[in-house]
Amino acid sequence: MGIEFNTNIFETNLINLSIVLSVVFLVIGDAFKTALNERKNGILTALNEADERYEEAQNKLNATLALLEEAKEKAQSIQKEAPGTALKEKETIQTQYALEEDRMNQKFENDSNLARARMAKTLYNHMVHTSISKARTYLVTHVNQVGQNASLSKVVDLIDSEKEVALA
């Protein structure tokens, strides 16, 4: 028994198969093409959106890298300027300190001179008061013994008025 090829169209149902296959290709083929086109369009849309997101991300990355580079340059600039700025600030503070120290020394000197002047005036007033009091006591004691009481009152009054003028 060997394999033979049957060329009889009716026995092999070749016509029926042709009709079924043509209907399947015509009817289902259009739906299949439409489904494939929709799938293709969906994939293309997804690819376009992915490209847009990629471009957006790339732009954000570039902007961020530019900001990073700018920040690095600014940091380097600050590092380069920091010693000079610190030195200037130090000099300014030292100058202000020296001025403040001079001002405080001057104030101390002025306050010391004022205190000395007040002390000298107080001492002077005390010495004048004591001297006048001793002179008065001496005059009263010695003049009373001599008997010149009336002229003593005039001298004492004169000394008291002179004392007020001297202490003022």
pTM for the complete prediction? 0.40
Q: How far is CA 109 from CA 71, 83, 98, 124, in A?
A: 53, 38, 16, 22
The first and second tokens of residue 159, run together, are 């000394």
Rounded to an integer, what distance in angstroms lies between the CA atom of residue 86 and that of residue 93? 10
**pLDDT band at 53; cut points 50, 70, 90:** very high
* Residue 150: predicted pLDDT: 55
In this prediction, residues 125-150 reach a mean pLDDT of 70
Residue 38 scores a pLDDT above 90:
yes
pLDDT per residue as tens digits for the range 91-113: 999 999 999 999 999 999 999 99
